[in-house]
Structure 1
Amino acid sequence: MADPQVLRDVLSDDALLVTPEEAAALLRVGRTTVYALMKAGDLRPVHIGRSCRLPRSELNRYIDSLTSSRSEQTQHLQLGTDQNGARGSVHTLPSGH
């Protein structure tokens, strides 16, 4: 991995594109997780030649999608409905599971 000071300098910049390793540091996840998110289509990289980069705007979009889907799930649980609005029972696991 790159020198920590160099990585810190890159992350403190307002670089438009970051490497998957830099994205992992920004998201506080492992490099493998970033590559898995790209493979699953959750993160959409750009390719310049053979280089793979992630726009910072893409990282923000991904984070926003996580927070919006989380709030939607919370709303459905509070209402006792599924994502299609159908009423149903909400099941919870006993504590300790």
Structure 2
Amino acid sequence: MTHRNQIRLAHYKDVGTLVEARGDRVFVNDRLDRQALGLGWLLTTWSGEVLLGSMYVWLEDAEEAELREKLPGCRCSPGSRCPRTIEAAASAPS
């Protein structure tokens, strides 16, 4: 039987499978908690019930000063290109 691959946001019910694949429960729980706060997305790829992979899309300001210096406007200030700023501007009343 073949399965169509599916990409979706991770859920807390996926913790066991993600920890088994990544070997780091603290990381998985941290990313799920950040996702719940709207600070990022923990994306997973599945083939049926089999986890093929995962990645985290970081929506917060970069933690590393070197990265922040290379990302102009990513301080989530008005007019920046930060995803949170763009989302806030899109949902603001006109």
TM-score by length of 2: 0.31
More strand as a share of residues: 2
Flag the structure with larger Rg: 1
More helix as a share of residues: 1
